[in-house]
Amino acid sequence: MTDGLHSYRKAIGREFPQAQHIKADGITSHEKNNNMIERFHNTFRERDKVMRGFKGQKNASIMAESFRTYYNFVRPNMALQGRTPSRVARIQAEIGRNRWMKLLA
């Protein structure tokens, strides 16, 4: 699902031949939209911009995995009433108060 930029159709067809390209109806549509993933990308991009790039695929992979862990287990989400996605999904992780340090250990 994309915002419908014309160049996406050709790229998706080339890279993902079995995929069906769906154009999102817009930010206010309740039927088809990609608002949640776009919000996640914006949050990730806020961190990425400060770092000024990754300087290699290995660093990019490490950063993406670390950020995903942070986003799902540590960072409170306003849309989830201050809870983390893992808590809402009822994923039991005994990580205590210093969640980030426990996850890194």
Considering the domain boundaries, does residue 21 fall inside one? no
Considering the domain boundaries, does residue 29 fall inside one? no
Q: How many domains does the chain have?
A: 1
pLDDT above 70 coverage of the chain, percent: 79
How far apart CA 42 and CA 32 sit, in angstroms, is 19
What pLDDT, on a 0 to 100 scale, did the predictor assign at position 28? 66
List pLDDT tens digits, range 53-71: 777 888 888 888 888 888 8
What pLDDT, on a 0 to 100 scale, did the predictor assign at position 27? 63
Query: What is the rounded average pLDDT of the residues 9-35?
Result: 77
Radius of gyration of the chain (CA): 17
Q: Determine whether 100 is exposed, middle or buried from the number of CB atoms within 10 Å of its CB (0-12, 13-18, 19+).
A: middle
List pLDDT tens digits, range 6-21: 788 888 888 888 988 8
Helix axes 57-73, 35-51, angle to 10 degrees: 120
Which residues span the domain enclosing 65? Answer: 34-104
pLDDT above 90 coverage of the chain, percent: 0
Q: Which residue has the higher pLDDT, 47 or 98?
A: 47
Considering the domain boundaries, does residue 79 fall inside one? yes
Residue 46: other Cβ atoms inside 10 A: 9
Considering the domain boundaries, does residue 15 fall inside one? no
Query: What is the rounded average pLDDT of the residues 58-86?
Result: 85
Among the ranges given (23-32, 44-53, 62-71), the one the predictor scored with the smallest mean pLDDT? 23-32
Name which of 93, 8, 56 is nearest 64 in CA terms: 56
Considering the domain boundaries, does residue 50 fall inside one? yes
Considering the domain boundaries, does residue 47 fall inside one? yes
Residues 6+ apart with CB under 8 A from 99: 73, 74
Considering the domain boundaries, does residue 66 fall inside one? yes
Considering the domain boundaries, does residue 53 fall inside one? yes
